[in-house]
């Protein structure tokens, strides 16, 4: 077991380059198998979730060549075998092999997906979507068997604009006969990235990035390339680090349109930042104003930024509120931030954060990915040393986090527990 050790109170300056988005890459890799030729994915982040998905591809007899941040995937000799639980349980996004294999082979056998423990995470919208396309679903012990004689385009209305269901239905319907329309689709940038990849292979998808996506089925998907978009959650995490302990810290790879909700809150708080082209420069700001934030689907304030943002709110002068509306149990960070000296009360799904409080380094536990990110941020601004255990959660989603932070002046290391 490893832990991250952070010496607090160091000033960060220099440049942090943002890697490809985890939540795009984890969908693009399964999407690659839909090509009847081969595909190349650029700017793939060096995260452990990627390694698990590559292992699934290898189990499916796909050829995978990885050089630096580029993945070449050839699925022409694909063998449609059961996707094992020891792999599926490591991440939520293993469920994108449901849509991809259903779309390609009309048959999938896959064990239950895993992912962060942040509340109930049903996949009923995905399954209903597959059924509407003509699939039959059987659940046997710990596995789903999804089978279709024929996939036919359908009009599918999502009860909630789910990111995963929108992508999975696109993957399953891209080779169906006829036209599929997804109403109340999710609009997140990662969905546009996946649709662009499929269109590069010859798919006919329009409307990605809006709430109505139209997919005209095609018979063949040729070779395709795609670049993973920058990770807006990784960018947000380092932007918050800059607001806490930065001195002209530069974050390179910020797409303004993907981050409006965060940037407008930072302005409301009087945080000192400048964005030019794709580079954001940020410094520690004294006298930050408290704010109220509510997580929402894109373009609202993304739930994944909530836990990191809580740390910044502990440093505002006054009472801030963060209401989590997407997940029912995304408060794993609160206990540990309070151990470090924060004053956060949780009422239903709202954090009430009283600032400003001085944080002290402590031994803490990363209960999930973004909780872990929030503890790294707290460690950067705290006095003395913070030791974070269960760091596998953090390494699932933050590429080279230790190197990136140390390059800009932090004192962070990974050691054996």
The footprint of ligand EPZ (CB under 6 A) covers 22-23, 26, 92-93, 116, 120-126, 160, 162-165, 186, 302-304, 326-327, 369-370, 397
CA–CA distance, 30 with 241 (Å, rounded to integer): 32
- Annotate 208-239 with b (16+ C-beta within 10 A) or e (fewer): bbeeebbbbbbeebeebebbbbbbbbbbbbbb
Q: Kindly name the residue from 62, 111, 116, 316 that is annotated as catalytic.
A: 116
We find the least distance from the C-beta atom of residue 11 to ligand EPZ, in angstroms, to be 28
CA–CA distance, 232 with 117 (Å, rounded to integer): 21
We find the least distance from the C-beta atom of residue 93 to ligand EPZ, in angstroms, to be 4
We find the least distance from the C-beta atom of residue 29 to ligand EPZ, in angstroms, to be 11
DSSP secondary structure string for all residues of 167-188: HHHHHHHTTSBSEEEEET----
Give the number of other CB atoms < 10 A from CB of residue 159. Answer: 10
Of the pair 265, 370, the CB lying nearest ligand EPZ is at 370
Of the pair 131, 279, the CB lying nearest ligand EPZ is at 131
Residue 116 bears catalytic tag: yes
| Contact (Cβ atoms closer than 8 angstroms) between residue 230 and residue 19 | yes
We find the least distance from the C-beta atom of residue 384 to ligand EPZ, in angstroms, to be 28
Of the pair 38, 227, the CB lying nearest ligand EPZ is at 227
Of the pair 88, 303, the CB lying nearest ligand EPZ is at 303
We find the least distance from the C-beta atom of residue 337 to ligand EPZ, in angstroms, to be 17
Residue 27: left (phi > 0), alpha (psi -120 to 50), or beta?
Answer: alpha
Of the pair 236, 369, the CB lying nearest ligand EPZ is at 369
We find the least distance from the C-beta atom of residue 90 to ligand EPZ, in angstroms, to be 12
We find the least distance from the C-beta atom of residue 329 to ligand EPZ, in angstroms, to be 10
- End-to-end CA gap in the chain: 6
Minimal CB distance residue for ligand EPZ: 164
What are all long-range contacts of 336-340, with beta carbons under 8 Å and residues at least 24 apart?
336/362, 336/364, 336/365, 336/367, 336/371, 336/375, 336/378, 337/310, 337/311, 337/374, 337/375, 337/378, 339/364, 340/364, 340/378, 340/382, 340/386
What are all long-range contacts of 393-397, with beta carbons under 8 Å and residues at least 24 apart?
393/116, 393/366, 393/367, 393/368, 393/369, 394/4, 394/366, 394/369, 395/47, 395/48, 396/22, 396/47, 396/48, 396/49, 396/91, 396/369, 397/22, 397/47, 397/49, 397/233, 397/234, 397/369, 397/370, 397/373
Of the pair 116, 334, the CB lying nearest ligand EPZ is at 116
Of the pair 22, 104, the CB lying nearest ligand EPZ is at 22
Q: Which residues are catalytic?
A: 116
């Amino acid at each position: 077991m490893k832990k991250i050790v952070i010496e607090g109170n160091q000033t960060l300056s220099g440049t942090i380059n943002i890697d490809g988005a985890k939540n795009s890459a984890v969908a693009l890799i399964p999407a690659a198998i839909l090509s009847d030729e081969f595909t190349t994915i650029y700017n793939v982040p060096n995260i452990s979730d990627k390694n698990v998905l590559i292992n699934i591809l290898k189990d499916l007899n796909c050829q995978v060549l990885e050089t630096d941040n580029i993945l070449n995937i050839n699925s022409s000799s694909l063998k449609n075998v059961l996707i094992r639980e020891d792999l599926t349980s490591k991440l939520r996004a293993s469920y994108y092999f449901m849509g991809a294999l259903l779309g390609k082979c009309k048959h999938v056998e896959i064990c239950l997906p895993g992912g962060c423990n942040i509340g109930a995470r049903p996949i009923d919208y995905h399954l209903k979507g597959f059924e509407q396309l003509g699939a039959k679903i059987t659940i046997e012990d710990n596995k789903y068997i999804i089978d279709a004689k024929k996939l036919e385009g359908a009009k599918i209305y999502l009860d909630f604009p789910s990111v995963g269901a929108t992508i999975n239905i696109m993957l399953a319907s891209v080779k169906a006969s006829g036209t599929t329309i997804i109403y109340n689709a999710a609009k997140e940038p990662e969905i546009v990235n996946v649709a662009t990849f499929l269109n590069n292979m010859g798919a006919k998808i329009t409307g990605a990035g809006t709430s109505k996506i139209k997919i005209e089925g095609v018979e063949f998907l040729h070779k395709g390339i795609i670049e993973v978009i920058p990770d807006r959650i990784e960018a947000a995490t380092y932007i918050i680090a800059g607001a806490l302990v930065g001195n002209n810290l530069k974050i390179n790879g910020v797409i303004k349109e993907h981050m409006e909700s965060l940037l407008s809150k930072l302005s409301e708080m009087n945080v000192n930042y400048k964005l030019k082209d794709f580079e954001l420069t940020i410094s520690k700001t004294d006298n930050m104003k408290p704010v109220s934030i509510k997580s929402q689907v894109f373009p609202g304030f993304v739930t994944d930024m909530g836990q990191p943002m809580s740390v910044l709110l502990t440093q505002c002068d006054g009472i801030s509120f963060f209401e989590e509306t997407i997940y029912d149990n995304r408060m794993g960070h609160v206990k540990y931030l309070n151990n470090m000296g924060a004053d956060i009360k949780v009422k239903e799904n709202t954090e009430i954060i009283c600032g400003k409080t001085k944080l002290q380094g402590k031994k803490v536990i990363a209960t999930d990915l973004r909780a872990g990110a929030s503890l790294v941020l707290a460690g950067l601004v705290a006095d003395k040393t913070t030791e974070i255990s269960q760091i596998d959660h953090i390494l699932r989603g933050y590429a080279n986090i230790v190197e990136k932070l140390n390059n800009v002046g932090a004192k962070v290391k990974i050691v054996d527990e």
